[in-house]
A and B are shown apart, each in its own frame.
Chain A
Amino acid sequence: MSNVAEMSSPQINPGIDPNTMSIIVTKGSLDWAYPPFILGTTAAAMGLEVTMFFTFYGLNLLMKDLDLQVSSLGNPAMKMPMMGMHMGMPNIVSAIPGVDAAASKMMKNLMKKKGIAPIAELRELAVEADVRLIACQMTMDMFEYGQGDMIDGLEIGGAATYIEVATQSHINLFI
Protein backbone atom coordinates (compact mmCIF):
# COMPACT_ATOMS: atom_id res chain seq x y z
CA MET A 1 0.00 0.00 0.00
CA SER A 2 2.86 2.34 0.71
CA ASN A 3 3.83 2.06 -2.95
CA VAL A 4 0.42 3.32 -3.94
CA ALA A 5 0.78 6.29 -1.63
CA GLU A 6 4.18 7.03 -3.08
CA MET A 7 2.93 6.78 -6.60
CA SER A 8 0.01 9.11 -6.03
CA SER A 9 1.96 11.73 -4.11
CA PRO A 10 2.56 14.94 -6.05
CA GLN A 11 5.81 15.40 -7.83
CA ILE A 12 8.11 17.47 -5.67
CA ASN A 13 10.63 19.60 -7.50
CA PRO A 14 13.93 19.12 -5.65
CA GLY A 15 15.44 22.12 -7.38
CA ILE A 16 13.21 24.82 -5.91
CA ASP A 17 14.93 28.19 -5.91
CA PRO A 18 15.28 29.19 -2.23
CA ASN A 19 14.68 32.81 -3.22
CA THR A 20 10.99 32.38 -3.97
CA MET A 21 7.96 33.19 -1.87
CA SER A 22 4.20 33.12 -2.24
CA ILE A 23 1.59 34.70 -0.01
CA ILE A 24 -2.14 33.99 0.02
CA VAL A 25 -3.87 37.23 1.05
CA THR A 26 -7.34 36.64 2.49
CA LYS A 27 -8.01 39.69 4.68
CA GLY A 28 -8.90 43.20 3.56
CA SER A 29 -8.99 45.41 6.64
CA LEU A 30 -6.47 48.17 7.35
CA ASP A 31 -4.57 46.16 9.99
CA TRP A 32 -4.47 42.89 8.04
CA ALA A 33 -3.36 44.68 4.87
CA TYR A 34 0.08 45.31 6.36
CA PRO A 35 1.68 41.89 6.96
CA PRO A 36 1.35 40.65 3.34
CA PHE A 37 2.47 43.93 1.76
CA ILE A 38 5.35 44.47 4.20
CA LEU A 39 6.64 40.93 3.73
CA GLY A 40 6.05 40.92 -0.02
CA THR A 41 7.88 44.19 -0.67
CA THR A 42 10.71 43.36 1.73
CA ALA A 43 11.22 39.91 0.24
CA ALA A 44 11.34 41.45 -3.23
CA ALA A 45 13.90 43.99 -1.97
CA MET A 46 15.97 41.09 -0.66
CA GLY A 47 16.04 39.53 -4.08
CA LEU A 48 13.20 37.03 -3.79
CA GLU A 49 10.73 36.34 -6.53
CA VAL A 50 7.36 37.04 -4.90
CA THR A 51 3.81 36.07 -5.86
CA MET A 52 0.75 37.31 -3.98
CA PHE A 53 -2.59 35.57 -4.49
CA PHE A 54 -5.58 37.66 -3.39
CA THR A 55 -8.81 35.94 -2.49
CA PHE A 56 -11.98 36.77 -0.55
CA TYR A 57 -11.54 40.03 1.40
CA GLY A 58 -7.95 40.26 0.21
CA LEU A 59 -9.39 41.44 -3.12
CA ASN A 60 -10.31 44.66 -1.32
CA LEU A 61 -6.58 45.50 -1.27
CA LEU A 62 -6.45 45.54 -5.08
CA MET A 63 -9.14 48.19 -5.56
CA LYS A 64 -8.11 51.37 -7.37
CA ASP A 65 -9.68 53.40 -4.59
CA LEU A 66 -8.48 52.10 -1.25
CA ASP A 67 -10.65 52.96 1.71
CA LEU A 68 -9.35 50.58 4.34
CA GLN A 69 -11.00 50.34 7.72
CA VAL A 70 -10.21 48.61 10.97
CA SER A 71 -12.80 47.35 13.43
CA SER A 72 -12.48 46.97 17.18
CA LEU A 73 -15.60 44.78 17.18
CA GLY A 74 -14.66 41.30 18.35
CA ASN A 75 -11.04 42.37 18.58
CA PRO A 76 -10.09 42.43 22.28
CA ALA A 77 -6.37 42.68 21.47
CA MET A 78 -6.83 46.04 19.78
CA LYS A 79 -5.69 48.46 22.44
CA MET A 80 -4.80 51.90 21.15
CA PRO A 81 -2.39 54.24 22.91
CA MET A 82 -4.54 57.02 24.35
CA MET A 83 -3.92 59.56 27.09
CA GLY A 84 -0.79 57.77 28.26
CA MET A 85 -2.35 54.34 28.46
CA HIS A 86 -3.70 51.61 26.22
CA MET A 87 -7.43 51.48 25.76
CA GLY A 88 -9.50 48.69 24.34
CA MET A 89 -13.12 49.04 23.36
CA PRO A 90 -16.07 47.01 24.66
CA ASN A 91 -18.04 45.36 21.83
CA ILE A 92 -21.17 47.28 22.72
CA VAL A 93 -19.32 50.53 22.00
CA SER A 94 -17.63 49.14 18.86
CA ALA A 95 -21.04 48.33 17.44
CA ILE A 96 -22.18 51.97 17.51
CA PRO A 97 -22.27 53.46 13.98
CA GLY A 98 -19.28 55.69 13.36
CA VAL A 99 -17.00 54.06 15.91
CA ASP A 100 -15.17 51.94 13.30
CA ALA A 101 -14.65 55.01 11.14
CA ALA A 102 -13.22 56.89 14.11
CA ALA A 103 -10.96 53.98 15.09
CA SER A 104 -9.74 53.72 11.49
CA LYS A 105 -8.98 57.42 11.37
CA MET A 106 -7.12 57.16 14.66
CA MET A 107 -5.01 54.23 13.42
CA LYS A 108 -4.19 56.03 10.17
CA ASN A 109 -3.11 59.11 12.15
CA LEU A 110 -0.89 56.98 14.37
CA MET A 111 0.68 55.35 11.33
CA LYS A 112 1.40 58.71 9.75
CA LYS A 113 2.93 59.97 12.97
CA LYS A 114 5.17 56.89 13.23
CA GLY A 115 6.43 57.02 9.64
CA ILE A 116 4.57 53.88 8.57
CA ALA A 117 3.89 53.72 4.84
CA PRO A 118 0.27 53.86 3.67
CA ILE A 119 -0.89 50.64 2.01
CA ALA A 120 -1.24 52.41 -1.35
CA GLU A 121 2.49 53.21 -1.24
CA LEU A 122 3.52 49.67 -0.29
CA ARG A 123 1.30 48.32 -3.04
CA GLU A 124 2.93 50.63 -5.57
CA LEU A 125 6.36 49.50 -4.37
CA ALA A 126 5.25 45.88 -4.81
CA VAL A 127 4.20 46.58 -8.40
CA GLU A 128 7.49 48.43 -9.06
CA ALA A 129 9.43 45.47 -7.68
CA ASP A 130 7.67 43.12 -10.12
CA VAL A 131 5.79 41.25 -7.42
CA ARG A 132 3.36 39.00 -9.27
CA LEU A 133 -0.20 39.90 -8.21
CA ILE A 134 -2.93 37.35 -8.88
CA ALA A 135 -6.62 38.03 -8.20
CA CYS A 136 -8.85 35.05 -7.52
CA GLN A 137 -11.43 34.69 -10.30
CA MET A 138 -14.02 32.83 -8.23
CA THR A 139 -14.21 35.41 -5.44
CA MET A 140 -14.13 38.30 -7.93
CA ASP A 141 -17.17 36.72 -9.53
CA MET A 142 -18.87 36.14 -6.17
CA PHE A 143 -18.37 39.72 -4.96
CA GLU A 144 -19.13 41.04 -8.46
CA TYR A 145 -15.83 42.87 -8.77
CA GLY A 146 -14.77 43.78 -12.29
CA GLN A 147 -11.18 44.18 -13.40
CA GLY A 148 -12.01 47.80 -14.12
CA ASP A 149 -12.42 48.42 -10.36
CA MET A 150 -8.95 47.09 -9.69
CA ILE A 151 -5.40 48.30 -10.31
CA ASP A 152 -3.66 47.51 -13.60
CA GLY A 153 -1.13 44.75 -14.00
CA LEU A 154 -3.07 42.02 -12.22
CA GLU A 155 -3.25 38.45 -13.35
CA ILE A 156 -6.48 36.55 -12.91
CA GLY A 157 -6.34 32.96 -11.76
CA GLY A 158 -7.77 30.22 -9.63
CA ALA A 159 -6.72 27.50 -7.21
CA ALA A 160 -4.64 25.59 -9.75
CA THR A 161 -2.78 28.77 -10.69
CA TYR A 162 -1.84 29.30 -7.05
CA ILE A 163 -0.90 25.65 -6.45
CA GLU A 164 1.44 25.73 -9.42
CA VAL A 165 3.10 28.83 -7.93
CA ALA A 166 3.29 27.14 -4.52
CA THR A 167 5.03 24.05 -5.91
CA GLN A 168 7.72 26.36 -7.25
CA SER A 169 8.05 28.53 -4.13
CA HIS A 170 10.35 27.84 -1.22
CA ILE A 171 8.29 29.91 1.22
CA ASN A 172 4.48 29.78 1.15
CA LEU A 173 2.50 31.95 3.57
CA PHE A 174 -1.20 32.23 4.29
CA ILE A 175 -2.35 35.53 5.75
Chain B
Amino acid sequence: MADQVLDAKGLNCPLPILRAKKALKSLQGGNTLEILSTDPGSVADFAAFCRTTGNELVEQNEEDGVYTYLIRKSG
Protein backbone atom coordinates (compact mmCIF):
# COMPACT_ATOMS: atom_id res chain seq x y z
CA MET B 1 0.00 0.00 0.00
CA ALA B 2 1.45 3.35 -1.06
CA ASP B 3 1.82 6.19 1.43
CA GLN B 4 0.05 8.52 -0.99
CA VAL B 5 -1.99 8.10 -4.17
CA LEU B 6 -2.09 10.60 -7.03
CA ASP B 7 -4.89 10.32 -9.56
CA ALA B 8 -3.54 11.88 -12.77
CA LYS B 9 -6.03 10.17 -15.07
CA GLY B 10 -7.12 12.31 -18.03
CA LEU B 11 -4.10 14.60 -17.73
CA ASN B 12 -1.64 14.98 -20.57
CA CYS B 13 2.09 15.65 -20.75
CA PRO B 14 3.69 17.16 -18.71
CA LEU B 15 1.01 17.37 -15.99
CA PRO B 16 1.34 13.82 -14.59
CA ILE B 17 5.08 14.44 -14.02
CA LEU B 18 4.54 17.91 -12.57
CA ARG B 19 1.80 16.68 -10.21
CA ALA B 20 3.94 13.70 -9.20
CA LYS B 21 6.86 15.98 -8.41
CA LYS B 22 4.60 18.13 -6.22
CA ALA B 23 3.24 15.06 -4.41
CA LEU B 24 6.76 13.67 -3.86
CA LYS B 25 7.79 16.97 -2.30
CA SER B 26 5.35 16.43 0.57
CA LEU B 27 6.59 12.86 1.19
CA GLN B 28 9.41 11.79 3.48
CA GLY B 29 12.41 10.01 1.97
CA GLY B 30 11.73 6.26 1.65
CA ASN B 31 7.95 6.74 1.44
CA THR B 32 6.02 5.74 -1.65
CA LEU B 33 3.71 7.43 -4.11
CA GLU B 34 1.27 5.62 -6.38
CA ILE B 35 0.33 7.42 -9.58
CA LEU B 36 -2.57 6.59 -11.88
CA SER B 37 -2.32 7.91 -15.44
CA THR B 38 -4.06 7.39 -18.76
CA ASP B 39 -1.26 9.03 -20.76
CA PRO B 40 0.63 6.36 -22.78
CA GLY B 41 3.60 8.75 -22.95
CA SER B 42 3.90 8.55 -19.18
CA VAL B 43 5.53 5.09 -19.46
CA ALA B 44 8.73 6.48 -20.95
CA ASP B 45 8.44 9.72 -18.99
CA PHE B 46 8.19 8.28 -15.48
CA ALA B 47 11.14 5.98 -16.23
CA ALA B 48 13.18 9.00 -17.38
CA PHE B 49 11.98 11.10 -14.45
CA CYS B 50 13.08 8.47 -11.94
CA ARG B 51 16.46 7.86 -13.63
CA THR B 52 17.21 11.59 -13.54
CA THR B 53 15.93 12.41 -10.07
CA GLY B 54 17.14 9.32 -8.24
CA ASN B 55 13.68 8.34 -7.05
CA GLU B 56 13.03 4.63 -7.42
CA LEU B 57 10.44 3.28 -9.83
CA VAL B 58 9.47 0.25 -7.78
CA GLU B 59 6.64 -1.07 -9.90
CA GLN B 60 4.56 -0.30 -12.95
CA ASN B 61 1.44 -1.84 -14.41
CA GLU B 62 -1.12 -1.26 -17.11
CA GLU B 63 -4.72 -2.34 -16.98
CA ASP B 64 -7.54 -1.22 -19.28
CA GLY B 65 -5.60 1.83 -20.40
CA VAL B 66 -4.73 2.95 -16.89
CA TYR B 67 -1.03 3.03 -16.05
CA THR B 68 -0.02 2.63 -12.43
CA TYR B 69 3.40 3.60 -11.09
CA LEU B 70 4.83 3.10 -7.64
CA ILE B 71 7.66 5.48 -6.85
CA ARG B 72 9.77 5.47 -3.71
CA LYS B 73 11.16 8.86 -2.80
CA SER B 74 14.96 8.94 -2.56
CA GLY B 75 16.85 9.85 0.59
The minimal Cβ–Cβ distance linking B66 to chain A, given in whole angstroms, is 14
Question: With contacts defined as CB atoms under 8 Å apart, how many contacts are there between chain A and chain B in the complex?
Answer: 34
Q: Which residues of A contact B14 (CB under 8 A)?
A: 38, 41-42, 45, 117
Whether B30 is near chain A, meaning CB under 8 Å from some CB there, is: no
Give per-residue flags for A22-61: 1 if the beta carbon is below 8 A from chain B beta carbons, else 0: 0000000000000000100110011100000000000000
Given contacts A47-B52, A47-B53, A42 and B17 within 8 Å (CB-CB) = yes
Given contacts A46-B49, A46-B52, A47-B53, A117 and B15 within 8 Å (CB-CB) = yes
List 13 other contacts, CB 8 Å, given A38-B14, A115-B11, A117-B11.
A38-B13, A41-B18, A42-B17, A45-B18, A45-B20, A46-B17, A46-B49, A47-B52, A47-B53, A115-B10, A115-B39, A116-B13, A117-B15
Residues of chain A touching chain B, judged by Cβ–Cβ distance below 8 Å, are 38, 41-42, 45-47, 114-117, 125
